[in-house]
Structure 1
Amino acid sequence: MDSPEITEAVAALRQTLHGGRRILLGIAGAPGSGKSTLAAWLQQQFEPGLAVVVPMDGYHLGNAIIEGTPLRLRKGAIDTFDAGGYLSLLRRLVRRDEPVVYAPEFRRTLDEPVAASIAIPAEVPLVITEGNYLLVEQEPWKDIRAQLDEVWFVETAQTLRLQRLAARHMSFGMDRAAREAWAAGPDEANAVRIQATRPAADRLIHWL
């Protein structure tokens, strides 16, 4: 997974940690681009206790909220997230004035967020947060971007990205017709919106 581009990005990130302050790094990209894989890989490049991954997906609206509404048919779209809650979390992480902050995590096996599943102690200097909409310039997402020191945008070949999405949907029980309909509908609509935010990124990362 390593490349000169990624090696340079990681080296620059290490340099920013030398000042002693906390760095919040965002990783954005379309569904299936490999954001969570890159975030996990990045965390492993640092010694234990120096970095933690906090996915935006922990702020999916719960199924009890969206069931029976049009949002259920668009789960994963920008308005199916608790953006205000996510912004509040990031502000707490920036302040760094609590011994530990707990963040929710999205469990795909449950198709639900689970509260207080990720611990972020105050001494952790690098917080990596990944999500689709980190570069969207509407409120409150614009304020979310303002909390982040840097945002990388993950670039992945379209065919590979779609293959990953199909495999993900299949692993959670979708039949072929449902997978194809979801990929061509909600997934593609989200991808188009997210791709439009690409020019606002601090770095473009080509990722397999």
Structure 2
Amino acid sequence: MTVRDVRPLAVRAFESPDTQQALAGLRSRLATGSRVLLGVAGAPGSGKSTFSACLAEALSPGSALVVPMDGFHLGNAIVDGTPLKQRKGAPDTFDVGGYLSLLRRLAQRDEEVVYAPDFRRSIDEPVAASIAVPADVPLVITEGNYLLADGPQWQQVRSQLDEVWFVDTPRELRLTRLVERHMLFGMGRPAAEAWATGSDEANARLIEATRHRADRIIRWG
């Protein structure tokens, strides 16, 4: 999605009272001059990436960058030929330790630039050092499935984040988006529907069970 695509959507997305209130609270945090790490959690297909891009666009130019947790997917060289392949997207298919280390570096803000990985759906692989985060960027938005998950390392991830917002999207819309996404990147419809209602939905149930831990619930879609 390009900036041109995001800008009109960003304007519409933040017209509701709830999102206006969330945005006002975020601006108050930023007014202190400290870096803010904002987590955006939600189930697969909930629109976390689009929401995060809209949020960054709604703020002052250059004041926010999005760093996705998906950059810490285990590479195909690790998961191919193992049971992890059929559960890609589950908590244990991420390098949570690496993600935690990145968040700590971003929070410390003592490096001129921190380089973060991104995930390229076109090749189904994470790509190292794809996002440059300069020290003068006050807001880092990190979006991902398991920001509110149980487990010692995931809890440490949560402790690095100043707030976590949970993107709440109707199930049928999520499933439609997931099927379309899987087909866009090469799956036939039967395989796409099976993955969306199987592995994706199992992960979604796990993620939805963590929503009560969020600082805000964002109705989206």
User: What band does the TM-score fall into relative to the shorter chain?
Assistant: over 0.9
Q: What does 1:1-208 align with in structure 2 at a 5 Å threshold?
A: 1-2=13-14, 3-208=16-221
Secondary structure, aligned partner of 1:19:
coil
CA RMSD of the aligned region, Å?
A: 0.7
CA distance in 2, matches of 1:72, 1:91: 29
Secondary structure, aligned partner of 1:140:
helix
CA distance in 1, matches of 2:88, 2:195: 10
Task: Give the alignment's TM-score, normalised by structure 1.
Answer: 0.98
CA distance in 2, matches of 1:182, 1:5: 33
Deviations 1:89-125 (A, max 9, x none): 0000011000010000000001001100001001111
Secondary structure, aligned partner of 1:118:
strand
Aligned structure 1 segments of 4 or more residues deviating by more than 4 angstroms: none
Task: Give the alignment's TM-score, normalised by structure 2.
Answer: 0.93
CA distance in 2, matches of 1:45, 1:15: 15
Secondary structure, aligned partner of 2:148:
coil
CA distance in 1, matches of 2:187, 2:150: 33
Contact kept in structure 1, 2:175 and 2:197, CA below 8 Å: no
Consecutive unaligned residues of structure 1, counting only runs of 5 or more, are none
Shift of 1:180: 1.9
Secondary structure, aligned partner of 2:198:
helix
Identity %: 66
CA distance in 2, matches of 1:27, 1:149: 11
CA distance in 2, matches of 1:45, 1:176: 35
Shift of 1:7: 1.0
CA distance in 2, matches of 1:36, 1:184: 20
CA distance in 2, matches of 1:182, 1:139: 29
Deviations 1:5-27 (A, max 9, x none): 11110111001001110000000
Shift of 1:184: 2.0
Shift of 1:48: 2.0
Q: Which deviates more, 180-189 or 134-143?
A: 180-189
- Residue equivalent to 2:4: none
